[in-house]
């Protein structure tokens, strides 16, 4: 059995998948963090190769029965243990025209998409003293990069930050551009007008629900508890 | 009155409007045209717009309405600038996708409409607001005002509220059917003629349970409206006992289940290719309450089943209870890869507790299941009362359901 180990980055992930698909025999793919040396395997380090990764990305779009770049990317962002093997299995089956519906990769892709779509609504910006708009989130999956394009065009006329507190990463946006940078969890002092506006929003939100129709179960299903601490109307 | 208090009153006044949609706009703006839900209130309804009244001060005395002249709640309003600033501030913080602006009729319909127009004009022209705007059309206003409104707004709605001319006469004597249908007609005409006018179309709302119309009459009106005005949506709103009890007696609990069944019927009509007669057969006045309209159709038309999932067309798949547009498409895609069996159906997200009675996989049914409608029915109907854990200490005033 051959074991391929990549550096944990996305280009590395694409490189190792691209290489693995050309190999014969049984293969396992691990990231450096996941890898535990086994007794019988022969581990081989695969260096991330940006050009090769870009080539392989094109292949994912054009050379498979259907475009599969998105499932591969989303499965990677799900950050599940053993993603490399899962995605490899998925691509391998596709190549041999085996059935892949209800594959774990599809499920992961669905889960990541769902959280992304939810988060487009649940991100709450606060204006901070230095004048930009800051939002902190704790998503299950690594989705800030997926949120960025939406907010880059939506919030184009001011600077904004979406901060993933668990991964200590943030998207910084300014004038339609954005970049992802490491950012430790720090507290930013709020702008003076902020408290008043948040109060208006909370009161509006409360007054919106019709007293005779209260349905907390439905609310809890649609707004899972783990998102509450970061929602202005709930926190 | 403080801004926050006025906001509370005017929000509470707008909450009986069920519309929450922020999608479908053709406006060329950043972020595309999808609807985004930003939160859900305690009654489980989606929040995507700042839903608010310009004023709750009304000259009309519609018997069903909270703002009718013979109620004595506080009357207040927000200025055009206040509305615009609230919207922009909420939008920037990603609380909302846009504004849903409605109004009671202060002074005259034209005056009320003009104040609303002033608000959205500030928003669009001064603040260059790119978000979604839903404007309420006030019955009986001038066409020139509607035309202006249609350029600012993505969607407009003129609420019919009462599903028949007779009820309208009885419960809203100051409004005439023509006051409602003429604006709808005018908006639809302009929308067809001009691209960019009212990109997300128009919608309307019907109140359920304040007047005696049957489900049959309501669905028939709905299918007429979808056909005639190409409405984007019709909202059904269970009547909350906020009206004048002298005119609308006997409403204790809002008919929420009936509202739900009507929405299900509406969906069958719009997304499942069901015809009016299929949803509610001739000779029947109301939808069944204990069974969803699709399952009810399936039991009435049992000759249609079982359907072989490996061969059925998209439209045939859509007729199966437990299968919707999404799962029907999934089936069609998956069965190209291999012949499907029951375990696959489950993985594809089909609701097997309903679908199992109506499908075959490779010519086989699931063994042991009843195969005539009368015996299937109990499996499909909702449990009337769910088993509950008995309480050790009964709450004061007895058990509430």
Low-confidence residues of chain A, pLDDT below 50? none
Residues A95 and A147 in one domain: no
Beta strands in B48-86 (DSSP E): 49-53
pLDDT in tens, B89-130: 999 999 999 999 999 999 999 999 999 999 999 999 999 999
* pLDDT (mean) for B66-86: 94
Report chain B residues whose CB lies below 8 A from the CB of A159. none
pLDDT category at B63 given cuts 50, 70, 90 is very high
Residue B17: how many CB atoms within 10 A of its CB?
A: 18
- Res B40 pLDDT > 50: yes
B43 shares a domain with B135: yes
Instruction: Output phi, psi for A136, to 5 deg.
Output: -110, 140
Q: Does A114 touch chain B (CB under 8 A)?
A: no
At residue A176's C-alpha, the angle toward residues A173 and A177, to 5°, is 55
Residue B399 lies in a domain: no
- Is A98 found in the same domain as A44? yes
Q: What is the count of residue pairs from A and B with beta carbons less than 8 Å apart?
A: 134
Provide the whole-model pTM: 0.91
Residue A90 lies in a domain: yes
A55 and A133 together in one domain: no
**Spatial distance between the Cα atoms of A72 and A58, rounded to a whole number of angstroms:** 12
B385: in domain: no
Taking CA atoms, A136 is separated from A119, A160, B181, in Å, by 11, 11, 48
CB B94 within 8 A of CB B38: yes
The answer to whether residues B236 and B169 belong to one domain is yes
Is B386 part of a structural domain of the chain? Answer: no
Q: Which one of B3, B95, B128 would you mutate to disrupt binding with A, by most A Cβ within 10 Å of its Cβ?
A: B95
B324 within domain boundaries = yes
Helices B3-14 and A194-208 pack at an angle, to 10 degrees, of 30
Shortest alpha-carbon distance between residue A201 and chain B (Å) = 7
Closest CA in chain B for residue A99: B337
Flag whether B389 is in a domain.
no
Q: Using DSSP, state whether B245 is helix, strand or coil.
A: coil
Q: Give pLDDT, residue B31.
A: 45
Q: Say yes or no: B239 and B322 in one domain.
A: no
Residues B118 and B22 in one domain: yes
> Is residue A188, in this structure, part of any structural domain at all?
yes
**pLDDT exceeds 80 at position B157:** yes
Tokens 């902190």 found at: A136
Judge whether A137 and A159 are in contact, CB under 8 Å. no
Inter-residue contact B37 to B48 (CB < 8 Å)? yes
The enclosing domain of B136 has a CATH number of: 3.20.20.70
- Dig out the tokens for B131 from the structure: 């978000």
Q: Which of B44, B52, B95 sits opposite A201 (nearest CB)?
A: B95
User: How confident is residue B399, by pLDDT bands cut at 50, 70 and 90?
Assistant: very low
Note whether B31 and B160 are same-domain residues.
yes
A152 and A191, same domain (yes or no): yes
Domain that holds residue B137: 3-244+254-279
In angstroms, how far is CA B256 from the centroid of its own chain?
A: 13
Is position B184 within any domain?
Answer: yes
Looking at the domain assignment, is residue A67 inside a domain? yes
Judge if B170 and B211 occupy the same domain.
yes
**Interface pTM (ipTM) of the complex?**
0.93
Tell whether A100 and A156 lie within a shared domain: no
Which of B31, B39, B46 is most worth mutating to test chain A (most A CB atoms within 10 A of its CB)?
B39
Q: For B248-274, what is each residue's pLDDT tens digit?
A: 876 778 899 999 999 999 999 999 999
List the helix and strand counts (H, then E) for chain B. 15, 10
Looking at the structure, do residues A80 and A161 belong to the same domain, yes or no? no
Whether residues B190 and B324 share a domain: the answer is no
- Residues found in chain A: 235
Which domain covers residue A172, as residue numbers? 123-230
Q: Both tokens of residue B303?
A: 């000759």
Per-residue pLDDT at B150 exceeds 80? yes
Question: Which residue among B8, B30, B51 sits closest to A154, beta carbon to beta carbon?
Answer: B30
Question: Two tokens at A109?
Answer: 């892709």
Residues A148, A79 within the same domain: no
Distance, in angstroms, between B128 CA and closest chain A CA? 11
Asked whether residue A115 is domain-assigned, the answer is no
Mean pLDDT across chain A? 93
CB atoms within 10 A of CB B52: 28
What is the Cα A187 distance to its own chain's centre?
23
**Domains contained in chain A, number:** 2
For residue B306, whether the previous peptide bond is cis, meaning omega lies within 30 degrees of 0, is yes
Say whether both B261 and B163 belong to one domain: yes
Q: What confidence category does residue B400 fall into, taking pLDDT thresholds of 50, 70 and 90? A: very low
Residues A82 and A142 in one domain: no
Same domain for B49 and B186, yes or no, is yes
> Cβ contacts (< 8 Å) between B338 and chain A: which residues?
99
Interface check A130 vs B, CB under 8 A: no
C-beta separation of B54 from B78 below 8 A: yes
Q: How far apart are the CA of B17 and the nearest CA of chain A, in angstroms?
A: 10
Instruction: Give the pLDDT of residue B30.
Output: 44
Instruction: Reply yes or no on whether the pLDDT at B385 is more than 60.
Output: no
Substitution target in B7, B40, B87, B345 with the highest count of A β-carbons within 10 Å is B40
Q: Do A158 and B11 touch (CB under 8 A)?
A: no
Mean pLDDT of the B162-166 span:
94
Query: Do residues B108 and B16 share a domain?
Result: yes
Mark whether B36 and B176 lie in a shared domain: yes
In a shared domain, residues B219 and B363: no
Return the axis-axis angle of helices B80-92 and B109-121, rounded to nearest 10°.
40
Do residues A124 and A231 touch, judged by C-beta distance below 8 A? yes
Q: Which of A75, A110, A145 is the last residue of a domain?
A: A110
Question: How many independent structural domains does chain B possess?
Answer: 2
Residue B401, domain member (yes or no): no
Q: Classify burial at A206, counting beta carbons within 10 Å of its beta carbon; exposed 0-12, middle 13-18, buried 19 or more.
A: middle
Look at residue B22 in the predicted model and tell me its pLDDT.
79
Last residue in a domain, options A77, A110, A143: A110
- Give A-chain residues touching B46 at CB under 8 angstroms: 222
The minimal CB distance from A231 to the residues B39, B51, B256 is found for B39
Same domain, A167 and A215: yes
* Chain A residue with minimum CA distance to B344: A102
Q: pLDDT by residue (tens digit) across B295-349?
A: 999 999 999 999 999 999 999 999 999 999 999 999 999 998 889 999 999 989 9
- A129-163 burial: b if 16+ Cβ within 10 Å, else e: eeebbbbbbebebbbbbbbbebbbebbbeeebbbb
Does residue A146 share a domain with residue A80? no
Q: Which of chain B's residues have a Cβ under 8 Å away from the Cβ of A213?
A: 43-45, 238, 240, 254, 256
Same domain, A70 and A146: no
Contact B110, B72 (CB under 8 A): no
CB atoms B240 and A133 under 8 Å: no
Angle between the A104-122 and A144-154 helix axes, to the nearest 10 degrees?
40
Contact A101 B8 (CB under 8 A): no
Q: Based on the fold, state whether residues A138 and A44 are members of the same structural domain.
A: no
Query: How do residues B281-290 score in pLDDT, each as one tens digit?
Result: 999 999 999 9
Answer whether residue B394 is part of any domain.
no
Whether B14 contacts B53, CB under 8 Å:
yes
In a domain, A218, yes or no: yes
């Amino acid at each position: 059995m051959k074991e391929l180990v990549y550096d944990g980055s996305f280009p590395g992930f694409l490189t190792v998948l691209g290489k693995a698909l050309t190999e014969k025999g049984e293969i396992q793919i691990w990231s450096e963090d996941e890898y535990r040396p086994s007794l019988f395997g022969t581990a081989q380090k695969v260096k991330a190769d940006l050009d090769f990764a870009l080539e392989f990305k094109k292949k994912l779009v054009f050379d498979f029965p259907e475009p599969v770049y998105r499932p591969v990317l989303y499965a990677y962002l799900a950050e599940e243990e053993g993603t490399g093997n899962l995605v490899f299995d998925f691509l391998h089956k596709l190549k041999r025209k085996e059935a892949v519906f209800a594959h774990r990769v599809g499920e992961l892709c669905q889960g990541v998409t769902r959280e992304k779509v939810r988060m487009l609504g649940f991100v709450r910006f606060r204006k901070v003293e230095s004048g930009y708009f800051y939002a902190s989130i704790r998503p299950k999956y690594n989705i800030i990069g997926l949120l960025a394009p939406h907010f880059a065009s939506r919030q184009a006329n001011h600077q904004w930050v979406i901060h993933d507190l668990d991964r200590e990463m943030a998207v910084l946006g300014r004038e339609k551009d954005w970049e992802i940078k490491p950012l430790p969890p720090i507290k930013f002092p709020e702008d003076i007008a902020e408290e008043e506006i948040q109060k208006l929003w909370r009161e509006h939100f409360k007054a919106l629900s019709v007293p005779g129709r209260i349905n907390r179960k439905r609310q809890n299903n649609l707004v899972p508890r783990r998102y509450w601490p970061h929602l202005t109307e709930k926190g | 009155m403080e801004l926050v208090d006025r906001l509370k009153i005017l929000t509470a006044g707008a909450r009986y409007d069920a519309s929450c949609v922020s999608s479908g706009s053709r406006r060329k703006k950043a972020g595309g045209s999808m609807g985004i839900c930003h939160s859900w209130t305690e009654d489980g309804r989606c929040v995507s717009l700042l839903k608010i009244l310009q004023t709750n001060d009304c000259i009309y005395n519609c018997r069903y309405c909270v703002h009718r002249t013979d109620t004595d709640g506080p009357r207040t309003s927000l200025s055009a600038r206040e509305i615009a600033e609230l919207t922009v501030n909420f939008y920037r913080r990603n609380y909302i996708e846009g504004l849903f602006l409605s109004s009671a009729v202060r002074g005259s319909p034209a005056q009320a409409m003009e104040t609303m127009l002033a608000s959205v004009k500030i928003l669009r022209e001064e603040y260059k607001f790119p978000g979604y705007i839903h404007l309420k059309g006030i019955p009986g206003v001038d066409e020139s005002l509607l035309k202006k409104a249609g350029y600012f707004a993505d969607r407009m709605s003129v609420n019919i509220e009462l599903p028949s001319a007779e009820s309208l006469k009885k419960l809203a004597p100051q409004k005439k059917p023509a006051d409602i249908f003429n604006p709808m007609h005018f908006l639809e005409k302009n929308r067809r003629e001009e691209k960019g006018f009212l990109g997300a179309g128009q919608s309307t709302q019907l109140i359920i349970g304040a007047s005696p119309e049957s489900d049959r009459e309501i669905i028939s009106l709905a299918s007429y409206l979808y056909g005639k005005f190409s409405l984007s949506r019709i909202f059904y709103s269970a009547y909350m006992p906020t009206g004048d009890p002298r005119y609308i007696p006997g409403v204790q609990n809002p008919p929420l289940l009936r509202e739900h069944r009507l929405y299900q019927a509406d969906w069958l009509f719009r997304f499942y290719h069901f015809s009016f007669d299929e949803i509610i057969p001739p000779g029947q006045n109301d939808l069944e309450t204990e069974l969803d309209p699709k399952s009810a159709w399936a039991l009435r038309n049992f000759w249609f089943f079982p359907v072989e999932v490996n061969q059925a067309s998209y439209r045939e798949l859509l007729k199966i209870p437990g299968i919707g547009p999404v799962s029907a498409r999934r089936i069609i895609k998956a069965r190209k890869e291999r012949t499907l069996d029951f375990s696959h159906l489950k993985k594809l997200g089909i609701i097997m507790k309903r679908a199992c009675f109506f499908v075959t996989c490779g010519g086989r049914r699931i063994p042991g299941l009843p195969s005539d409608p009368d015996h299937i029915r109990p499996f499909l109907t909702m449990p009337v009362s769910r088993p509950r854990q008995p309480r050790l200490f009964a709450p004061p005033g007895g058990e509430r359901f």
